[in-house]
Amino acid sequence: MKHLMPKLPYSLGALAPTISEETLEYHYGKHLKTYVDNLNKLIAGTLYEDMDLAEIVCKASGAVFNNAAQAWNHEFYFAALSPVAKTISPKLGSLIVKSFGSLQDFKEKLLGSATALFGAGWTWLVAQDDGTLAIVNETNAGNPMTRGLRPMLTIDVWEHAYYIDYRNRRADYLKAIWELIDWDVVEQRLSDDECNVYI
Ligand code: MN
């Protein structure tokens, strides 16, 4: 199966000035496209050829894993950003409070974890087996599905995600991108079977 570029639910300029059109031209149009193109080349004629992306992420290693996970992670990241401000619903909010103590504690823990991640990687909000939420960091192409955790939200902290707009100021990028998170999409992922097929 040939993997295709995911469609963005907004135009390349829609998240500016928080995320500029130039950043998305590179991040979506070049970085993500390279991962998708590399994946298609790597899986041709292999046992991964007919698997969907999540299955490859859960079963592959090495270069196939790296390119598949980067493709999956970026689609998941871009899909939960919105040019329209969203609020956390009472249902998701009460789960966050149960898991982290308060919404403010959750925000500080999520952004603090992303700020502290050394080098390239992703900060994730995940649902655990007991139904509570947790925050985990993954380096490079890491994806928590491979550890049996259900992804709810991810924040890309590779430098290519923010260097055009924020240079080395990762904390400023994180503070700004918090305002773009589409909490409706995050909440839908609580009941989205697609995330749970291979874990
Ligand atoms: Mn990226």
Percent of the chain with pLDDT over 90: 92
Kindly give the distance from the C-alpha atom of residue 130 to the centroid of ligand 1, in angstroms, as a whole number. 30
Ligand 1 centroid, distance to 154 Cα (angstroms)? 11
- pLDDT tens profile 128-184: 988 899 999 999 999 999 998 999 999 999 999 999 999 999 999 999 999 999 999
32 CA distance to ligand 1 middle (Å): 7
Its pTM stands at 0.96
The CA dihedral of 5, 19, 94, 128, to the nearest 10 degrees, is 40
At which residue do the structure tokens 């749970």 appear?
196
Pairwise CA distance, residues 142 & 129, whole Å: 20
List the one residue out of 61, 57, 81, 77 whose CA is nearest residue 69.
57
Whole-number Å distance, alpha carbon 141 to ligand 1 midpoint, is 9
What pLDDT is recorded for position 193? 60
124 C-alpha to ligand 1 centroid (Å): 14
- CA 31 / ligand 1 centre spacing (Å): 7
What is the average pLDDT value for the chain, to the nearest integer?
95
Would you say how long the chain is, in residues? 199
CA of 98 to the centre of ligand 1 (A): 31
Answer yes or no: is pLDDT of 110 > 60: yes
Q: How far is the CA of 67 from the centre of ligand 1 (A)?
A: 12
The DSSP output letter for 81 is: B
Q: Enumerate the β-bridge partners of residue 154.
A: 124
**Residue 197's pLDDT is what?**
53
Query: Which pLDDT belongs to residue 75?
Result: 97
Q: CB of 151 within 8 A of CB of 143?
A: yes
Does a cis peptide bond (omega within 30 degrees of 0) precede residue 17? Answer: yes
The SS3 of residue 181 is: strand
Residue 152's φ and ψ, nearest 5 degrees, are -115, -35
- β partners of residue 153: 125
What is the CA(93)–ligand 1 centre distance, in A? 28
Distance from Cα 115 to the centre of ligand 1, integer Å: 15
Residue 66 and residue 140 in contact, taking contact as beta carbons nearer than 8 Å: yes
Q: How far apart are CA 32 and CA 76, in angstroms?
A: 12
